Chains A and B, each alone.
Chain A
Amino acid sequence: MAMEDVTGRPPPKSVLPMSPIGWARRNLFSSPGNTILTLASLYILWLTIPPFLDFTIFSAVWTGTTREACLVPDAGACWPFVWANIDQFIYGRYPPSEIWRVNLTFALGAAVIIPMLIPGLPARKLNLVFLLIVYPLVALVLLAGDRPGLPPVPTSEWGGLLVTLVVAITGIVASLPLGVLLALGRRSDMPAIRMLSIIFIEFWRGVPLVTVLFMASVMLPLFLPEGFSPDNLLRCLVGVALFSSAYMAEVVRGGLQSIPAGQYEAARAVGLTYWQAMTQVVLPQALRHVIPGIVNTFIGLFKDTTLVLIVGLFDLLGQVRAQLSDPNWTVPQGALTGYIFAALVFWAFCFGMSQYSNFMERRLDTSRER
Chain B
Amino acid sequence: MARGQGQKRGTATLNWYNPRVRSIFYQTVVLVSVIGIVWFFAATAQENLERLNISSGFGFLDTTAGFGIIQTLIPYSEQSSYGRAFLVGLLNTLVVAVIGIVLATLLGFFIGVARLSRNWLIAKLAAAYVEIMRNIPLLLHLFFWYFAVLRPLPGPDNSLTPFDGVYLNNRGLILPAPVFDASAAYFFASLALALAGSVFLIRWAKSRQIATGQLFPAWRTATGIVVLLPALVWLIAGRPFELEFAERDAFDYVGGMRLLPEFVALVLGLTLYTAAFIGEIVRAGIQSVSKGQIEAAAALGLKDSTTLRLVVIPQAMRLIIPPLTSQILNLTKNSSLAVAIAYPDLVAVFAGTVLNQTGQAIEVISLTMAVYLTLSLLTSLAMNWYNARIALKER
**Residue A74 at the B interface, CB < 8 A?**
no
Give residues 303-352 of B contacting A (CB, 8 Å).
333-334, 336-337, 339-340, 347, 351
Q: Report chain B residues within 8 Å CB of A226.
A: 47-48, 51
Q: Specify the chain B residue showing the minimal Cβ separation from A336.
A: B148
Q: Specify the chain B residue showing the minimal Cβ separation from A216.
A: B365
Q: Report chain B residues within 8 Å CB of A191.
A: 27
Q: Report chain B residues within 8 Å CB of A206.
A: 372-373, 376-377
How far is B372's CA from A38's CA once the two chains are assembled, in angstroms? 43
**Residue B78 at the A interface, CB < 8 A?**
no
A339 pairs with B144, CB closer than 8 A:
yes
| Distance from A61 Cβ to chain B, minimum over Cβ atoms (Å) | 17
A37 pairs with B351, CB closer than 8 A:
no
Interface residue tally for chain A (C-beta within 8 Å): 55
**Residue A153 at the B interface, CB < 8 A?**
no
Main secondary structure of the interface of A (DSSP, over half): helix
**Residue A224 at the B interface, CB < 8 A?**
yes
Give the number of residue pairs across the A-B interface with Cβ within 8 Å: 147
| Distance from A356 Cβ to chain B, minimum over Cβ atoms (Å) | 13
**Residue B235 at the A interface, CB < 8 A?**
no
The one of A34, A45, A190 that contacts B125, using a Cβ cutoff of 8 Å: A45
How far is B181's CA from A59's CA once the two chains are assembled, in angstroms? 54
| Distance from B329 Cβ to chain A, minimum over Cβ atoms (Å) | 8
Q: Report chain A residues within 8 Å CB of B3.
A: 189
Contact with A along B131-168 (1 / 0, CB 8 A): 11011111110011001100110000000000000000
B365 pairs with A342, CB closer than 8 A:
no
B136 pairs with A350, CB closer than 8 A:
yes
How far is B368's CA from A336's CA once the two chains are assembled, in angstroms? 33
The one of B132, B340, B355 that contacts A347, using a Cβ cutoff of 8 Å: B132
**Residue A7 at the B interface, CB < 8 A?**
no
Q: Specify the chain A residue showing the minimal Cβ separation from B376.
A: A206
The one of B26, B144, B337 that contacts A190, using a Cβ cutoff of 8 Å: B26
B118 pairs with A343, CB closer than 8 A:
no
Would A332 and B152 be within 8 Å (CB), given that A193-B27, A339-B143 are in contact? yes
The one of A203, A208, A343, A346 that contacts B334, using a Cβ cutoff of 8 Å: A208
B44 pairs with A223, CB closer than 8 A:
yes
| Distance from A204 Cβ to chain B, minimum over Cβ atoms (Å) | 10
Q: Report chain B residues within 8 Å CB of A223.
A: 41, 44-45, 48
**Residue A41 at the B interface, CB < 8 A?**
yes
Would A208 and B347 be within 8 Å (CB), given that A190-B26, A214-B365 are in contact? yes
Q: Specify the chain A residue showing the minimal Cβ separation from B346.
A: A211
**Residue B243 at the A interface, CB < 8 A?**
no
Q: Specify the chain A residue showing the minimal Cβ separation from B135.
A: A350
A310 pairs with B339, CB closer than 8 A:
yes
Q: Specify the chain A residue showing the minimal Cβ separation from B345.
A: A210
| Distance from A158 Cβ to chain B, minimum over Cβ atoms (Å) | 19
A34 pairs with B351, CB closer than 8 A:
no
| Distance from A55 Cβ to chain B, minimum over Cβ atoms (Å) | 11
A317 pairs with B137, CB closer than 8 A:
yes
Q: Could you write out 6 A-B pairs with CB less than 8 Å apart? A: A38-B121, A193-B27, A205-B376, A207-B376, A214-B355, A224-B44
Q: Which B residues have a C-beta under 8 Å from some C-beta of A?
A: 3, 23, 26-27, 30-31, 34, 41, 44-45, 47-49, 51, 117-122, 125, 131-132, 134-140, 143-144, 147-148, 151-152, 333-334, 336-337, 339-340, 347, 351, 355, 361-362, 365, 368-369, 372-373, 376-377
Q: Which A residues have a C-beta under 8 Å from some C-beta of B?
A: 27-28, 30, 34, 37-38, 40-42, 44-45, 189-193, 196, 203, 205-211, 214-215, 218-219, 221-226, 299, 303-304, 306-307, 309-310, 317, 321, 332, 335-336, 339, 342-343, 346-347, 350-351, 354
